Amino acid sequence: MQKIVLTILLALSLEAKMIDGVAVVVQGDAITLHEIKKEMQLSRVDAVVATDALIRKKLELQEVQERKITVDSSEVYDDIKKSAERNGLNVNEFYEAIRESNGLTSVELKEKIKEKLLSQKLYSSIAYSVIEEPSDDEIKSYYSLHKEAFVHPSGFNVVIYNAQNKERLQEKIDNPMFYSPDITSSEQNLPYDRIAPELAQLLESTPLSSFTPVVPNGKGAYASFYIKEIEPAKEADIESVKNQVMNMMMSEQREQVLGNYFARLRHNADIKMIRNVE
């Protein structure tokens, strides 16, 4: 009898622990407190936004399964390889750069890429059929109302510091007076329109007279860019950004279609909120 009671108590204890770890159940699929906290950390958002994002992901995954959409490992690798090449890195260097910037392991990155590709295929099946390409007049009108979105610096005057040893280069960043023969430097002008979008974003987000974070330099070593000067912003002419404007317009249309679709899906879904992140 005592054995039976102990077994029941153990089962109840395990069930309580399992329920304690679950924050939301979306049509039978659980979202744990750990997942919410991790999403908060990765996306730098609060618990409400992180929870909403994870509910959307669960609904997307369920829709992917319903539509029998798949992504294989070769598609994931091709996407990672293209991202690495855009940044002038090999795949291993790209893995390291992601680990340094986001704390994601290569396995976690592959899972994120797979989720992204599944979402893209799902979005295509939902949205593309109802989105029309904007006319020239619509593009011009949109551009005139959103010119500030297409204004960017002409370029950057930088000092590029390179080193084989990442820690030594970080020491230079922490103490600009630090000297080491292992660290080389060169002053360059980097026109905005001639550098990779990822590098442009990195430089644009770095304050004047400061260093960027240490990043792989694509040559088996590391680099940091010191921003000496940001050349004055210039307004792009419509022809040079026409494709960018069109892509932005279609992206907004797509997000509206998808937002409405998943709002209806969420409204009709069986979602149980069990507990909040403390």
Q: Which fold has domain 155-231?
A: Chitinase A; domain 3 (3.10.50)
- In the numeric block, the tokens 């669960």 are attached to 58
Give the pLDDT confidence score for residue 193 in this predicted structure. 81
Give the pLDDT confidence score for residue 6 in this predicted structure. 47
Give the pLDDT confidence score for residue 129 in this predicted structure. 64
Give the pLDDT confidence score for residue 12 in this predicted structure. 43
Give the pLDDT confidence score for residue 20 in this predicted structure. 52
**Mean pLDDT in each 10-residue stretch from start to end of the chain (278 residues)?**
47 46 91 91 90 93 92 94 84 84 86 90 81 88 87 91 91 90 93 84 91 85 93 78 87 87 92 84
Distance from C-alpha of 199 to C-alpha of 148, rounded to nearest angstrom: 20
- The domain limits of the chain are 69-130, 155-231
